Structure 1
Amino acid sequence: MNDDKWRREVSRDSERLKEAERSRRSLLVQTVFLGSLSVLFLAPLLAGAYLGRWLDSLGEGYTVRWTVNLILLGLALGVFNVYLFIRKYW
């Protein structure tokens, strides 16, 4: 291996390492991403719980039919939101 070829390979490898370092996600970016996932998952879940509880309180007697159903719907919607978000941005 001649000297010129060796220098070109070292230079190329050095550029690859620098590019990998620049494209690495920082801790702050990862924290914001995780917070966004949490909001996307919990917002429909909590909205379903509150809406279901309110609808159950309108009826007579004790029932949790609306609450359970809307919590499950919120859970499914939250999982779908997280899936779409990860697929688009990660």
Structure 2
Amino acid sequence: MKPLQRLRGRVEQQTRRMRRAEKDRSSLLAQTVFLGSLGLTLCLPIVAGAYLGYWLDGLSPGYSVRWTVGCILLGVAVGGYNVYRMIQE
């Protein structure tokens, strides 16, 4: 009878685990919000870098896009790092 009790305990444990997993499963709305947050986390530093670079280029005489391109690339790096950190959590 002892093996039967162990089997019953394992089955009950697996049943509880499956019910908990079903209850904790993310909904479509939660997944959409997460993906939207990832998109904003990536895009906001890029856009901020573009505006900052454009403003810095406007301070110097003549036509130049050095600051704009540099700040956009910096924004891509910062946004990528932010997304990486967000996915790790």
Give identity over the alignment, percent: 52
Instruction: Show the counterpart of 1:80.
Output: 81
In the aligned structure 2, how far is the partner of 1:3 from the partner of 1:77?
A: 57
Instruction: Kindly provide the amino acid, as one letter, of the partner of residue 27 in structure 2.
Output: S
Runs (4 or more) in structure 1 with deviation over 4 Å come to: 2-10
CA RMSD across the alignment:
2.0
> TM-score if structure 1 supplies the norm length?
0.81
Instruction: Show the counterpart of 2:60.
Output: 59
CA apart distance, 1:5? 6.7
> TM-score if structure 2 supplies the norm length?
0.82
CA apart distance, 1:25? 1.1
CA apart distance, 1:50? 0.6
Aligned 1:1-90 pairs, distance under 5 A: 8=9, 10-88=11-89
Q: Which runs of 5+ in 2 are unaligned?
A: none
Q: Which runs of 5+ in 1 are unaligned?
A: none
In the aligned structure 2, how far is the partner of 1:54 from the partner of 1:4?
A: 73
Question: How many residue pairs end up in the alignment?
Answer: 88
Q: Which stretch of the first structure deviates more once superposed, 52-61 or 42-51?
A: 52-61
In the aligned structure 2, how far is the partner of 1:6 from the partner of 1:51?
A: 65
Q: Which stretch of the first structure deviates more once superposed, 42-51 or 5-14?
A: 5-14
